[in-house]
Amino acid sequence: MGVSKSLAVVVPAYNEGDGLREFHQRLATVFDRLDLDCRVIYVDDGSADHTWRVMQALAADDGRVATLRLSRNFGKELAMTAGLDYADADAVVVIDADLQDPPELIPELLARWREGFDVVYGTRDVRAGESWLKRLTATAFYRLIGRISPTPIPADTGDFRLLDRRAHQALKQLRERHRFMKGLFAWVGYRQTALVYHRDPRHSGTSKFNYWKLWNFAIEGITSFSTVPLRLATYLGLLTALVAFVFGIWVVVKAMFFGDPVPGYPSLMAVILFLGGLQLLALGVIGEYLGRLFTESKQRPLYLLQTVEPARADAPAESRCGAESEGDTETGRQMRAGSSGQSSV
C-alpha cells in the first residue's frame, strides 16, 4: 500500500539493557524492508540497570527511535500505556523487549492488517523456555478468565499485537487504573484475528514476573473483567443459609423427639468456624473490589514521565506529554490521565 502509511512499535522495557541492542538490530532489519514510515518507541519502565543509556545510544544512532522514561517502575501494563499514549500511527504494534516475540513477525501482522483487520494478536503455540508449571498456570488462568469474563479474552495470547488506528484510539480512551491490558485490548472489539506463532525463550536476563506477581496479575485480570466472584459469594451465602436452615430443623426435631442431652460441642464448633471462614472469604472478595474502587476514585494519573525524547508537540491535548526540560530529572512530567476512569467491572 501507500508509502504514506505509518507504523509505530511500542516496546516496554524494564532492566533489559543487555538484550536491547540485539532487539533493535533485529527490529531495524525488519523496518528496513518495510514500505512504511516506521518508528519505534522504547519505554524505560524505571529500570535500575543501563537500559536508559542503551536507549539513548540507539536514539542517537537511529532517527526512527523515540524514548520515554517513566519516573519509576510502574509495571508493564502502564509502561505499555505510556508508549501507546505517545504513539501516533496508522498501525501500532506492541512487543516485548526480550525477543520472546520475534520482531520478524511484524510483516505478517501488517499483512493481516492490510486484509482489513483492526487488531491482530499473537497467539502462542509453544512456550519454549518456560517451565511446565508456568505453562500449566497460564493455561488454567486463560481458561478460567475465558469462562467468567463477559469480554472474550483470547487464550494463550500475550500483549504482542497490532492495533489499527481506530482500535488504538479506542484503547486510549480506557483510562482505568487497574489495567489488565490483555482484557482491554479485547474489550475494544472491532475486527480481530489471531496470528499463531512460536514464542521463543528470552534472549537474555530473566522474566520479571515471578509466581507471586503472576498470581496478583491473575486477580487483577479477574476482578477487572468479571464480577462472578461477587456473585459466587452470594450463592455461597445462599447455599450455607439453606444448609443451616435444614440443619436447624433437624436439631429442633431431634430435641423434640429424643430430648436434648446437650452433646454437640464439636459440631457446634465446626459450624461456627466454617461459617466464620465463609464470611471472611466473602468479605475478602468484596474487599478486593472495594479496594479497586478506592484506587479508581483517587483519579491519580496512570503514570508519570521523567523524560520524553523527542517531545511530541503535535500530540492531542489528552495525551500530550509536558515539554521536556533536558536533564531535569526531578520534575516528573505528568501525562494527563484523560477523562474520568471508566471501569468495565
Q: Which helix (H) or strand (E) holds 86?
A: helix 76-86
Contact between residue 119 and residue 163 where contact means Cβ atoms under 8 Å apart: yes
Q: Which helix (H) or strand (E) holds 108?
A: helix 106-114
Tell me which of 97, 105, 171, 174 binds ligand UDP, using CB under 6 A.
97
Give the one entry of Mg ion, ligand UDP, none that residue 79 binds, where binding means its C-beta sits below a cut-off of 5 to 8 angstroms depending on kind. ligand UDP
Which DSSP string corresponds to 117-151?
A: -SEEEEEEEEETT--HHHHHHHHHHHHHHHHH-SS
Tell me which of 8, 9, 10, 12 binds ligand UDP, using CB under 6 A.
12
Any contact of residue 221 with ligand UDP (CB under 6 A)? no
Contact between residue 44 and residue 76 where contact means Cβ atoms under 8 Å apart: no
Q: How far is the CB of 47 from Mg ion (least distance, A)?
A: 15
Q: Which is nearer to Mg ion, 97 or 106 (CB)?
A: 97
Stretch that binds ligand UDP, among 56-64, 201-209, 259-267, 285-293 (CB under 6 A): 201-209
Number of residues that bind ligand UDP (CB under 6 A): 16
Which residues are paired to 168 by β-bridges? none
Q: In the sheet where 333-334 sits, what is the strand order?
A: 192-199, 119-127, 157-164, 91-94, 6-13, 37-44, 65-70, 304-309, 333-334
Q: Which is nearer to Mg ion, 215 or 235 (CB)?
A: 215
Residue in this structure with the C-alpha cell 503514570, named with its chain if needed: 303
Tell me which of 190, 209, 211, 274 binds ligand UDP, using CB under 6 A.
209
Q: How far is the CB of 99 from Mg ion (least distance, A)?
A: 8
Q: How far is the CB of 2 from ligand UDP (least distance, A)?
A: 31
Q: How far is the CB of 188 from Mg ion (least distance, A)?
A: 24
Tell me which of 100, 149, 224, 306 binds Mg ion, using CB under 5 A.
100
Q: How far is the CB of 336 from ligand UDP (least distance, A)?
A: 21
Q: How far is the CB of 16 from Mg ion (least distance, A)?
A: 9
Chain residue whose CB lies nearest ligand UDP: 207
Residues shown for the chain: 345
Using alpha carbons, select from 12, 201, 32 the residue that is nearest to residue 101.
201
Distance CA 345, CA 343 (A): 5
Look up residue 104 and give its DSSP letter. G
Residue 122 identity (one-letter amino acid)? G
Residues that bind Mg ion (CB under 5 A): 98, 100
Residues that bind ligand UDP (CB under 6 A): 12-14, 16, 45, 73, 75-76, 79, 96-98, 100, 207-209
